[in-house]
Amino acid sequence: MNKVIYFPTLNLISEASDTAKPKRAVYILDDPEKISLFADFTRWEILHLLSIRPMTEAQISKLLGLTRAAIGYHLHHLLKAGLVQIEKTEPEEHGILQKFYSPVARLFIVDPERTPEEMLRYFIRIQEERLIGFFSAFQLKNREIDFSAETLEKLALAMLKKLCEVGRKYAMLDTARGVPSLEVKIYAEALSSLTKQDEWRDFFQELLYL
């Protein structure tokens, strides 16, 4: 899931073929216009599919059950913004060239500091769902984890900031091959760093050790 995020829940990391064009390991989205393009579930799905293998407009259309015109519209904007690239072209039976698209990075991470206010809630909600999934792993032996919606929202925003901070360390890394563990590595590193912050240290100690 070159999915985040962060991406994202949606996994935007995938294995690439040996002949694939070089890609960045991480792309930090800090342009409000590009972030606005990313705040769309259909485009997340398109990027997820393209992270698996390069695909044509027709192939994406079939998999998502959307018209080619709709997929073409989204691809046009993603290509114009530099978030996808034309991986290769191949002639069809009638001589028309098929364009195969792929994402320009293995992982996309949104910078919350550069995200327009009206879109920030969208990305916070995605991160909240991911954190809820993480916390559910600790609801063992009838032990309940109780915290307010306000706390969850603050934690999700703090996590988004940490993911961006950690992701920047990998932003300039080129990788022609897939890095399937990169998303997990970045998320784990960001979460570990967050547990050491004064604001969240007690929260995580109670969660993990009590």
Residue 46 belongs to domain with CATH number? 1.10.10.10
Count of Cβ atoms closer than 10 Å to residue 175 Cβ: 17
Domain count, the chain: 1
Give the Cα separation of 22 and 152 in Å (integer).
37
Q: Is residue 1 part of a domain?
A: no
Contact present, 174 and 22 (Cβ < 8 Å): yes
Count of Cβ atoms closer than 10 Å to residue 174 Cβ: 8
Q: Is residue 131 part of a domain?
A: yes
Q: Is residue 45 part of a domain?
A: yes
Average pLDDT over residues 46-75: 96
Q: Is residue 161 part of a domain?
A: yes
23-29 sheet: strands from edge to edge: 105-110, 23-29, 174-175
Q: Which two tokens stand for residue 130?
A: 């991911």
Q: What is the pLDDT of residue 132?
A: 86
Contact present, 108 and 183 (Cβ < 8 Å): no
Range of the domain at 93: 23-209
Q: What is the pLDDT of residue 202?
A: 87
pTM over 0.85: no
Give 55's DSSP letter.
B
Q: What is the pLDDT of residue 143?
A: 59
Question: Does the structure show a pLDDT above 60 at 5?
Answer: no
Buried b (16+ CB within 10 A) or exposed e, 80-93: ebebbbebeeeeee
Q: Is residue 15 part of a domain?
A: no
Q: Is residue 12 part of a domain?
A: no
Computed over every residue of the chain, the mean pLDDT equals 83
Q: Which two tokens stand for residue 192?
A: 């570990």
Contact present, 83 and 5 (Cβ < 8 Å): no
Average pLDDT over residues 64-91: 96
Q: What is the pLDDT of residue 24?
A: 84
Amino acid at 157: L
Question: Does the structure show a pLDDT above 50 at 12?
Answer: no
Q: Which two tokens stand for residue 47?
A: 């990027």
Q: What is the pLDDT of residue 158?
A: 97
Q: What is the pLDDT of residue 50?
A: 94
Q: Is residue 10 part of a domain?
A: no
Which of 20-24, 99-103, 114-118, 168-172 comes out lowest in average pLDDT?
20-24
